[in-house]
Amino acid sequence: MKPNLIIHGAAGRMGRRLLALAVETGEFDLIAAVDRAEHPDIGTDAGLAAGIGEINVQLDSAFPATADIVIDFSLPEATEKVVDYCRDNNVALVTGTTGLDEGVIEKMGVVAERIAIVQASNMSVGMNVLFSLVGKVANMVGADYDIEIVEAHHRFKKDSPSGTALTLAENIAKETGRPWPGCLVHGREGKVVPRQAGTIGMHAIRGGDITGEHSVILSTLGETLKLSHSAHNRDNFVRGALRAAKWLVGRPAGLYSMADVLGL
Ligand code: NAD
């Protein structure tokens, strides 16, 4: 039998693509599409809102009595309600919502003693592979390779550098024994700013509608090695979340990462 799926944040940009791809894969039985009560699309067919035609599931502000799994891409202030619902009804949870409060993260840790949760601020499969590789590669090439990270995102992005670029840098720092975050150098400006050995340079480009580009550059005298990831659109996060959901159904209680999902 297919797992019963609830999408939370279903009227959002991620939620609509999740809904479309969850239906397209045919691997889930979508039983509810939940969003906030004030959303103008509440009461309309969720498939129409997602651009895939009618699916006979209406956008609703209430959760159904039970399900196998919830996928949540909403807002930090909405995620706690989802965690409570999953705890009270013994439902597994995949959440990709970013900017969660410490309190919600702590609660998730406690609730994960009773239900299975995957929480990840980046659900892209390719990026998670890169997360697990960068530190190893830095150690393989050795300390004489200067490491610089360049990321590019659309003009609307608020934070800089991206959380993903910081995770890449942190993973390198941890695996190579660099002080974190003391090894970071953000941009470079000035008449005399030579590169300091052991630092990780961090550079952010903002422009147009770039979805997300990250490059880790490892350069020494004579050669440069580049590890790059390009997100073409949001679907890479959505496909990662669906893969996590499929993996999670039937797992024992626990707080899992995308590295667990992918076996990295
Ligand atoms: P969005 O603003 O388009 O969608 C958020 C949706 O949540 C909206 O439909 C909104 O109405 C709904 N919502 C808000 N409050 C709610 C409530 N109280 N109850 C129910 N629904 C509520 O945002 P988005 O671009 O779809 O992103 C959603 C989240 O996913 C953000 O936190 C974003 O940073 C994160 N995100 C994570 C990844 C990842 O890989 N983990 C990738 C992309 C986006």
70 pairs with which residues across the strands?
6, 93
User: Is residue 89 within 8 Å of 235, Cβ to Cβ?
Assistant: no
Ligand 1 atom with minimal separation from the 61 CA: 20
Q: Tokens for 124?
A: 């892209």
Q: Tokens for 47?
A: 């498939």
User: Is residue 108 within 8 Å of 116, Cβ to Cβ?
Assistant: no
Cα–Cα distance measured from residue 171 to residue 178, given in angstroms and rounded to the nearest whole number: 10
Question: What proportions of the chain, in percent to the nearest 5, are helix, strand and coil?
Answer: 35, 25, 40
**Residue 247 pLDDT > 90:** yes
Element (H, E) at 239: helix 235-248
Instruction: Supply the pLDDT for residue 99.
Output: 85
CATH topology of domain 4-123+234-262: Rossmann fold (3.40.50)
- For ligand 1, the distance from its centroid to the CA atom of residue 142, given in whole angstroms, is 40
Return the amino acid letter for 158. K
Cα–Cα distance measured from residue 60 to residue 8, given in angstroms and rounded to the nearest whole number: 10
Q: Tokens for 220?
A: 């020494």
Positive or negative: CA dihedral 100, 242, 160, 180: positive
User: Is residue 11 within 8 Å of 35, Cβ to Cβ?
Assistant: yes
228 pairs with which residues across the strands?
215
pLDDT, tens digit (0-9, with 9 covering 90-100), for 44-89: 999 999 999 999 999 999 999 999 999 999 999 999 999 999 999 9
Which residues approach ligand 1 with their CB closer than 6 A? 9, 11-15, 34-36, 39, 73-75, 78, 96-99, 120-123, 237
pTM of the model: 0.91
- Best CA proximity match to 30, nearest among 51, 12, 45, 13: 45
pLDDT, tens digit (0-9, with 9 covering 90-100), for 96-124: 998 888 999 999 999 999 999 999 989 99
Instruction: Supply the pLDDT for residue 159.
Output: 85
Whether the ω angle into residue 40 lies within 30 degrees of 0, i.e. cis, is: no
Tell how strand 184-186 and strand 92-95 pair up. Answer: unpaired
Pick the CATH number of 125-230 from 3.30.360.10, 3.40.50.300, 3.10.20.30, 3.90.1150.10: 3.30.360.10
Domain boundaries, the chain: 4-123+234-262, 125-230
Read off the pLDDT of each residue in 234-262 and give the average, rounded to a whole number.
97
What are the residue ranges of helices labelled H in 9-162? Answer: 13-25, 46-49, 76-89, 102-111, 125-141
User: Is residue 117 within 8 Å of 108, Cβ to Cβ?
Assistant: yes
Ligand 1 atom with minimal separation from the 39 CA: 11
Query: What residues are labeled active site?
Result: 153, 157
Q: Hey, how many other C-beta atoms are within 10 angstroms of the C-beta on 61?
A: 12
pLDDT, tens digit (0-9, with 9 covering 90-100), for 140-194: 999 999 999 999 999 998 889 998 999 999 999 999 999 999 999 999 999 999 9
Q: Tokens for 263?
A: 């076996």
Instruction: Supply the pLDDT for residue 36.
Output: 97
pLDDT, tens digit (0-9, with 9 covering 90-100), for 17-33: 999 999 999 999 999 99
Mutate to test the pocket of ligand 1, among 82, 98, 100, 258 (most ligand atoms within 8 A of CB): 98
